[in-house]
A and B are shown apart, each in its own frame.
Chain A
Amino acid sequence: MKSIAELEEIRKRTLQRINLRREDKESEVRVVVGMATCGIAAGARPVMMAFVDEIGRRHLSQVTVSQTGCIGMCRLEPMADVFLPGEEKVTYVNLDADKARRIVAEHVVNGRPVTEYTIGNAENNKQQA
């Protein structure tokens, strides 16, 4: 038999798992990984799995990871965009699993973009987005 506290525990644990099905996503943070052929070939899959894993490990229920197609800069793959509510998106390039984990820690959790991985930095500080 479950106690009230156990019930609450189940609620929190499961909610984190299924929260991505909610339709009210105003406060949501989105991580979008480029998963076209070019991205996958460059290693986007381990990058995405690192995002998913790190976000799960930190119990960040308001963050979703999704995929997108090729945006035309195949030489910079694997790429990912991070959308924080009310802020401009940040595009990261030439990612790997470790970089992905750092982005979760610094950008998603603490709100500080990891400038050294951004597209602006990669393109010699030419400002794009």
Chain B
Amino acid sequence: MVEPAIELKDVSVSLGNKIVLKDVTVSLDEGTFLGIIGPNGGGKTTLLKVLLGLLTPEQGDVRIHGKTPSKVSDVIGYVPQYSNFDAQFPISVWDVVLMGRVGELGWKPFYSKEDKKIAEASLKMVDMLEYKDRQISELSGGQQQRVLIARALTIEPKILLLDEPTASIDEKIQTNIYELLQKLNKKKNITIILVSHDIGVISSYVDEVACLNQYLIYHGSDELTSEMIEASYECPVDLVAHGHPHRVFEHKMPSEEED
């Protein structure tokens, strides 16, 4: 039997006295492209932290390619939200991308030729090589996002985790980012999990979709029903398909609110 890329069993996490994740169970095969959607505060970031090993759940079991998350720093490439950074920070694109190799330094003070070759290849993969000497803040949001994806790729990961990769990026550029992710997924067989609150765009590109709001609702398919969304958002949601002709969303008007 092939080992799943990611396997969670009955994972529960509470922060303070608030339950953030409850009995999350999911198993993903290698090469899956999963989009997780859910409202803000629904536990998306917490789930990412659990997968990254930054947070140990008080209950449940997490396996990444059969290992516990703290031992997989060379398996998972993490792409945080680009808007979390200090735009003033004096760092070039090249140094940001090389950061992906910083864990490999060991006792060496400098990056090796191999590190640099990998960084160059990663920048090429996201079409950003010509920007390598630019300061990170001189780039647009979409370009910064590409650089962060390149940084994650220098780990040569089997899995990419992305936190809101298209937040505050305009729609045309969003499409570029999703196409890039799709390419990485299909050509390099990288398992991709991205979390977003953006329901429409996400579901046009991913293979599978899950909804997260404390509980994870996941059927192992790309079908996104309004029941799934309603269960997660706890309110009726108006589904709009973003220019993807072969998928039909169930359309439902939000019920009128009463005062």
Q: Please determine whether chains A and B interact with each other in the same assembly.
A: no
Binding site for B on A (CB under 8 A): none
B residues near A (Cβ < 8 Å) are: none
